[in-house]
Amino acid sequence: MSKDQNSLEMNLAAKNQSTSSNGIDLSVNIAGVTLKNPITTASGTFSPHESSEFYDLSELGAMITKGVASVPWDGNPVPRIAETYGGMINAVGLQNPGVDYYIEHEIPFARKFDTKIIANVAGHSIPEYCDVVERLSEADVDMLEVNISCPNVKEGGIGFGTNPAMAAEVTRAVKRVSKKPIIVKLTPNVTDITEIAKAVEAEGADAVSLINTLLGMRIDVHRKRPVIANKMGGFSGPAIKPVAVRMVYQVRRAVKIPIIGLGGIMTGEDVVEFLMAGADAVSIGTAAFANPTAPVDIKNELIAYMQRYGFKNLQEIREAFQG
């Protein structure tokens, strides 16, 4: 069987599965790739090996894996984590084993599951982003998510995501070398996120994901110093959800490409909020720290919501929103 036939059959199987529960169709198409449901995992909060110890990854619409760079990165010193009211701050600094290790060890394991693989790409410079994208273009992944928005890496990262011209430049460069659809992940740490979204759409980004973490800080008043070693870090969790919903709403009205919405989703009704704001799919992040099976539980809550209101597919939810 050819690879195309194989993937066609798998798509049909996914389609069947997506409509199996009470006539509800959860499937969504992102840049030509069909996800059987809109639930994905936010990069950095998911690992195929560790997460699969708690739930069947085939339940996911797609797995978005942790950022990989062209070479291994050590990340930031510890402590890297601080809890905040209704959220947390992290400054892991994109510690990762590098793209070669990812291709050799992570993808084959992830492929055992009936779901799409979206590889998240990290870099300090445009050549580094392009190097990773080129290599992943030849690897067995379905899409790439380019992280131009990590607040925890000094050179690059967020620098590309806060300036429309630089965001456009990265997008243009990676699109030139990529054979896979490109999702560009946007930072909320900007004055007008629609400017960045429009800039990456104009350079051919196939989709955008938003929001990455908000830059935050916590101070230990007893020890009289910052809680995390990096001083500042990325603020995530349910506390940031209103900011994320607002930005998805704004970006939906500024660009035509699909949006993967994320930021503080804890429940199925939170997913509905993002869909109504204009997201095509969503990512579950920090919720998976508070509950390792959160992506599956949230999917089931989404189905329960749809049953309650008689929605048959995700588009009906989006169209029902009056705002």
Partner 1 sequence: MSKQVVEGKIIGQSEIAPMIFKMIIHAPEVAASAHCGQFVNVYPKSKSTLLPRPISISEIGEETITLVYGVVGEGTREFMQYETGESIRVSTALGNGYSVQEAGVCVLVGGGIGVPPLVELAKSIKGEKIAVLGFREDPILVETLESLGVTVYIATDSGKVGFKGNVIDLIKAEGIKGDYFYACGPKVMLRALSAYCETQNVPVQVSMEERMGCGYGVCVGCVTKIKADNEKGFVLKKVCKDGPVFLGSEVKWDE
Residues with catalytic function: 150
The site string for partner 1 over 53-72 (x = CB under 8 A, - otherwise) reads: xxxx---------x------
CB nearer to partner 1: give 287 or 314. Answer: 287
Residue 38 CA to residue 40 CA, distance in Å, equals 6
The correct pick among 18, 40, 51, 171 for binding partner 1 (CB under 8 A) is: 51
82 contacts 99 by C-beta, under 8 angstroms: no
CB nearer to partner 1: give 92 or 99. Answer: 92
Contact between 241 and partner 1 by CB under 8 A: the answer reads: no
Residues near partner 1 (CB under 8 A), total: 38
Candidates 76-84, 125-133, 207-215, 306-314: pick the segment binding partner 1 (CB under 8 A): 76-84
Residue 267 CA to residue 53 CA, distance in Å, equals 21
40 contacts 260 by C-beta, under 8 angstroms: yes
CB nearer to partner 1: give 216 or 258. Answer: 216
Contact between 154 and partner 1 by CB under 8 A: the answer reads: no
Q: Distance of CA 240 to CAs 55, 168, 265, Å?
A: 26, 26, 9
Residue 166 CA to residue 237 CA, distance in Å, equals 28
The minimum distance between CB 51 and partner 1, in angstroms, equals 6
CB nearer to partner 1: give 87 or 123. Answer: 87
Per-residue tokens: 255: 């660009």
Short-list 289, 320, 292, 275, CA closest to 37: 275
Residue 116 CA to residue 139 CA, distance in Å, equals 13
Tell me which residues in 26-45 interact with partner 1 (CB under 8 A).
Answer: 44-45
Neighbours of 95 (CB within 10 A): 16
Contact between 5 and partner 1 by CB under 8 A: the answer reads: no
The correct pick among 11, 79, 177, 318 for binding partner 1 (CB under 8 A) is: 79
CB nearer to partner 1: give 57 or 205. Answer: 57
Residue pointed to by tokens 């500024």: 254
173 contacts 147 by C-beta, under 8 angstroms: no
Query: DSSP code of 105?
Result: I
Short-list 31, 62, 87, CA closest to 299: 62
The correct pick among 70, 189, 209, 286 for binding partner 1 (CB under 8 A) is: 286
144 contacts 204 by C-beta, under 8 angstroms: no
Candidates 20-28, 52-60, 191-199, 248-256: pick the segment binding partner 1 (CB under 8 A): 52-60
Contact between 288 and partner 1 by CB under 8 A: the answer reads: yes
Q: What are phi and psi of 283, to 5 degrees?
A: -120, 140
Q: Distance of CA 231 to CAs 12, 81, 253, Å?
A: 49, 11, 35
The minimum distance between CB 54 and partner 1, in angstroms, equals 5
The correct pick among 14, 33, 92, 118 for binding partner 1 (CB under 8 A) is: 92
The correct pick among 243, 289, 300, 318 for binding partner 1 (CB under 8 A) is: 289
CB nearer to partner 1: give 182 or 288. Answer: 288
Contact between 83 and partner 1 by CB under 8 A: the answer reads: yes
Residue pointed to by tokens 């699109």: 175
Short-list 307, 258, 304, CA closest to 283: 258
Candidates 15-23, 81-89, 125-133, 301-309: pick the segment binding partner 1 (CB under 8 A): 81-89
CB nearer to partner 1: give 55 or 305. Answer: 55
Q: Note the residues at the interface with partner 1 (CB under 8 A).
A: 44-47, 49-56, 66, 74-75, 77-83, 85-88, 90, 92, 95, 237-238, 286, 288-293
